[in-house]
Amino acid sequence: MPDRGGGPTGPRIRVGRPSRRVRTLLMTLGVLAVLGMAFTMFAGFWTDWLWYRSVHYSSVFTTTLWTKIGLFFVFGLLMALAVGFNIWLAHRLRPPLSAMSMEQQNLDRYRMGIAPYKKWLLFGITALVGLIAGASASGQWRTWLMWVNGVPFGEKDPQFKLDVSFYSFDLPWYRFLLGFGFAAAILSVIAAALTHYLYGGLRITSPGARATAAATGHLSVLIGIFVALKAVAYWLDRYGLAVKSSDFKATDNWTGLRYVDANAYLPAKTILFCIAVICALLFFATLWRRTWQLPVIGFGLMVLSAILIGGLYPAIVQKFQVQPNEQAKEAPYVEKNLKATREAYGINGTQVTEYPGVSKTEDKTRLRDDVNSTASIRIMDPNIISPTFQQLQQIRNYYAFPTNLDVDRYPKNGKDQDTVIGLREINLNGIPKRNWINDHFRYTHGYGVVSAEGTSVDSQGRPVFTNSDLPSKGDLPKYEQRVYYGEKTTMYSIVGGPQKEIDYSDDNGEKTTSYKGDSGVSLSNPVNRAAYAVAFGEPQILYSGAIGDGSRILYNRTPKERVESVAPWLTIDGDAYPAVVDGRIQWIVDAYTTTNGYPYSSRTTLGDTTADSLTASNNQRAVVAQQNQVNYIRNSVKATVDAYTGQVKLYQWDTKDPVLKTWMKAFPGTVKSKSDISKSLMAHLRYPQDLFKVQRELLTRYHVKDATTFLSGSEVWQVPDDPTNRSGNAVPPYYLSMRMPDQKQQAFSLTTTFTPNGRDNLSAFMSVDAEAGTSDYGKIRILKLPTNTTVNGPKQVQSQFNSEQNIAETIRLLRGGDSEVEYGNLLAVPLDGGLLYVEPVYVRGGGLKYPLLRKVLVSYGGTTAFEDTLDEALNKVFGAEGPVTEPPDEGGTTTPPPPTSENPTVQEALKDAQAAFDAGQEALKKNDWEAYGRAQQDLQDALRRAEEAQSQPDRTGGGGGAGNSGAGASPSGSPSPGRSPDSA
């Protein structure tokens, strides 16, 4: 431009490239960023590989990894090729642009803009859709492995006569392929249509033909492929009816064909398949006819047929054929559902026996004598006494017990007895000084087993410990006591290096140790240290001097987490429990194989079915489900996790389960034979709780075997809510050694009760033989009470207990002085035609922070007793004294000798306490604070006298009712929020 004048313009500013130093710096930062992201990704991969190798399950990692990689590349490449080929073909079939319309002139600038980048744009689009499709396909690795390794069930569905494996293993894979095909067809149609439009093959506003012949033929073929896939979908939908969910009567998630499915939907799907095939052929024919008239008409007829034949016709059949005579029409299909559901959940062998619900025996002495032979009644509730274990056996603050203890069997005097057991695990919150070294290097493990008799307490209401103290000693033979892997051990630890670990403390001070196991991953390699520093977000791992030669990092330390990691195809039971086996502490974990494709079997949601009052308050007890909704389940695997080495072993338990056989083909060598289970380990295996809860939920409806009763809904039961708390959740099942009416001797069992739907009286009692290795293991027995007889259910028994005046007054006194009352498990035991209920009652008194057993509730035949000991309560209920037995060691007693008369000192003290309490209430009404203070002092004195009287030698076996109330300013305490129902 010429100079217009106006004076000097000044120096010209030049905008040039950055200096070499800046470019070098930017390039260096970019390279470092890329390397950082790459190493972060590598760290996650490398630490996973190291962990799987450390637990000797590297084949699980490699099989899963290569399956995901293979699916990613195969299906990603197929999708990229499908979309890319159709873009390329549409571009190749573009028409010459001789006569430019206004529409094409507007598009020309876009064509010109992308012309230099066409290849890159094509590559970018195909790469993007390929990545998305590949990532989606890699998530189907379970479906692929089950399809390629599937073994037959040896059972055929009643409608199509196909093996169940077709629905469980084949059909899911075919549906995935069909979904992938639909996605490829739709994306190809969209990509081809846009390309044709961009290059003039399709026109919207231009005069003349809307599409060139080439574009018409291309898009018609693609749409024809889509319609052909729809025909395949209609054909697969025929088989899908056998595993289709629907709500039917009172049964949610009913699966299988009903009358309308077999007589309307099934023929409709066949007709629609034929129509779709014809419609697809019409689209393919446009390659020769070059017109969309017939294909469009055919497609419209297909849509109309889908509405009329696939929707309206079945609705007419349901309305005018099924509903007027539903029971007769549906009965054959209900019978198929009943049979399949009972088989799929392993409840087809359930033994249902009529049970009177009331005893006709008049000899109360004989009934009293029969109690001990019928059941070893467990008065130690493992879900209540964890604080007692904590207070009496914690020893150090950096140890802790799980919230819910476990019940197992251990020999005592030559006989197995129910035992409450817990491990003293590490509790980082109790460490005196929290820092990185203490958290991860010094306080690394728990120490020892603590166990107590399940059927007895000492004279103070405390557990009778069979193994206790630190180091633990007692009835168990010598074993490795260090607990590096446990339910509460959730943080990583670095062991075996120069930094010593605190082993335990005694009167002589702290003992130190260094981990000698081969568990964990070595940190001697600097690459490993760097990888874990990145993976755990802890840079000190890289440079800390506490890590040296021999250091190993332990993580993934909870038993359920380890089993789930090495067997990602298993569903894990919510309750892992410890056992001492051959000198080692072994965590025993039950695991299940499941499928959602068992024809005619109704579905259940594992998360809901396995929930109860314990899982509501303890998240650790929740089932770890691979798929939450299933319609087939087997306890196919028993797993163990060594508490010291973390070694995981999987044992085949159900040798007939085809799902497990399929996974064993996919992951050979990961599951050991059932014959490898040692006799000592077998003694501690038991029937799993979550499977039992699933089965009991199904048996609320599927205990009946005839379609007529099932359809009427008259025999529907429900699992009662836990009456011992206000959570509103189902009562948990209880382990108990007991004898059912058809058994000759007691067996370790898992039990529950049922009530009629919407009512509280008892309708049935269910038990399963939980003793592994016995001939009756897994046998389910149901005692069905008559509908014309009303027998109190758990909630009614608890209400009766709360409403009796004498009991209510005692409870009020127990709560005096800032004490809390907690109700233990309400156990039900069948006895001579009736039901015996037993419930322990615990008190947290005064300054004590842990519950002690103070009273026992017993109810039988409408008679209720509330006494200091179980024997006293049984004697009162039956009006007869039971056999006298010697108390065991340590002051505990299983069946203490009943007193010949009431202890007058206790009675007098309780009367004085009641009088003092009443006087205090009167003083409050009159605002006479001086009189209220005297009354409170009198109340404290009376409670102290009651406690002293109950601790006298002539009162062995039970603890005093008010003996642990303690002194306090308020005559009424607060109930425990988690375990106490409303009381009178």
Q: How confident is the model at residue 174 (pLDDT cuts 50, 70, 90)?
A: very high
Q: What is the pLDDT of residue 718?
A: 93
Phi-psi region of 762 (alpha: psi -120 to 50; beta: other; left: phi over 0): beta
pLDDT band, very low/low/confident/very high, at 705 (cuts 50, 70, 90): confident
Taking alpha carbons only, the member of 157, 168, 325 closest to residue 256 is 157
Name the 3-class secondary structure at 48.
helix
Express each pLDDT in 530-585 by its tens digit.
999 999 999 999 988 899 889 999 999 999 999 999 999 999 999 999 999 999 99
Highest mean pLDDT out of 15-29, 225-239, 539-553: 225-239
Rounded Cα distance, 823 and 391, in Å:
19
Number of Cβ atoms within 10 Å of the Cβ of 956: 16
> Is the pLDDT assigned to residue 721 strictly greater than 50?
yes
- Give the residue, 411 or 819, on which the prediction is more confident: 411
Helix ranges (DSSP H) in 375-473: 386-393, 436-437
Predicted local distance difference test score (pLDDT) of residue 970: 34
The pair of three-digit structure tokens given for residue 259, joined into one six-digit string: 């009358």
List pLDDT tens digits, range 453-484: 998 888 888 899 999 998 899 989 899 999 99
> Predicted confidence band at 966 (pLDDT cuts at 50, 70, 90)?
very low
Q: Find, among 664, 642, 157, the residue nearest to 445 by Cα.
A: 642
Q: Which range, 89-103, 651-665, 705-719, 862-876, has the best average confidence (pLDDT)?
A: 651-665
pLDDT value at 162 more than 60: yes
pLDDT tens-digit map of 619-668: 777 888 877 889 999 999 999 999 999 999 999 999 999 999 999 999 99
Minimal CA–CA distance to 832: which of 857, 792, 860?
A: 860
865 or 939, which is more confident? 865
Q: How confident is the model at residue 818 (pLDDT cuts 50, 70, 90)?
A: confident
Q: What average pLDDT does range 439-447 have in this prediction?
A: 93
User: Above 50 in pLDDT, residue 422?
Assistant: yes
- For 503, the 3-state DSSP assignment is strand
Q: Is 806 helix (H, G, I), strand (E, B) or coil?
A: helix
Dist CA 814 CA 843 (whole Å): 7
pTM: 0.84
Can you give the pLDDT at residue 115?
76
Q: How confident is the model at residue 192 (pLDDT cuts 50, 70, 90)?
A: very high
Whether the per-residue pLDDT at 80 is higher than 90: the answer is yes
213-240 vs 171-198: helix crossing angle, rounded to 10:
160
Q: Name the residue with higher pLDDT: 978 or 20.
A: 20
Cβ neighbour number for residue 669 with a 10 Å cutoff: 10
Structure tokens that stand for 13 in this block = 């500013």
- Asked if the model's pLDDT at residue 975 lies above 80, the reply is no
Q: Is the pLDDT of residue 912 over 70?
A: yes
Main-chain phi, psi angles of 430, to 5 degrees? -95, 5
Closest CA to 546 of 491, 484, 500, 492: 500
pLDDT at site 612? 84
Residue 324 has pLDDT above 50, yes or no: yes
Section 688-703 average pLDDT: 94
pLDDT at 100: 61
Query: Residue 960 above 70 pLDDT?
Result: no
Could you give the percent of the chain with pLDDT greater than 70? 87
Quote the CA–CA distance of 23 and 28 in Å, as a whole number. 8
Tell me the pLDDT band of 801, cut-offs 50, 70 and 90: confident
Provide the β-strand partners of residue 509. 506
pLDDT at 485 over 70: yes
Q: Which pLDDT belongs to residue 569? A: 94
Grade residue 4 by pLDDT with cuts at 50, 70 and 90.
Answer: very low
Residue 954 has pLDDT above 60, yes or no: no
Residue 903: band (very low, low, confident or very high) from pLDDT cuts 50, 70, 90: low
Cα distance between residue 302 and residue 307, in whole Å:
9
Residues with Cβ within 8 Å of residue 918, at least 6 apart in sequence:
none
Q: Which residues contact 676 (CB under 8 A, 6 or more apart)?
A: 651
CA distance 461 to 451: 16
In this predicted structure, the answer to whether residue 762 has a pLDDT above a threshold of 70 is yes
Q: Are 612 and 729 in contact (CB under 8 A)?
A: yes
Q: Is the pLDDT of residue 891 over 70?
A: no
| Higher-confidence position of 452 and 962 | 452
What residue spans of 897-928 are helical by DSSP H?
Answer: 904-925
Whether residue 611 is predicted with pLDDT greater than 50 in this model: the reply is yes
Q: Which residue has the tokens 């017109």?
A: 291
With bands split at pLDDT 50, 70 and 90, how would you rate the model's confidence at 899?
very low
Q: What is the DSSP string of 608-657?
A: HHT--HHHHH-GGGS-B-SSSEESEEEEEEEEEEETTT--EEEEE--TT-
Please give the Cα distance from 79 to 136 (Å, whole number).
11
Question: pLDDT tier at 42 (50, 70, 90 boundaries)?
Answer: confident
Does residue 840 register a pLDDT over 80?
Answer: yes
Distances (CA, A) of 133 to 50, 72, 81, 136: 29, 8, 12, 5
What whole-number distance in Å separates Cα of residue 486 and Cα of residue 586? 10
Between the alpha carbon of residue 401 and those of residues 93, 394, 426, 770, 775, the distances in Å are 74, 8, 9, 25, 35
Average pLDDT of the residues of the chain: 85
pLDDT at 983 (0 to 100)? 35
Q: What pLDDT does residue 7 have?
A: 42
DSSP 576-599: -EEEEETTEEEEEEEEEEEES--T
Query: Is-contact 690 573, C-beta < 8 A?
Result: yes
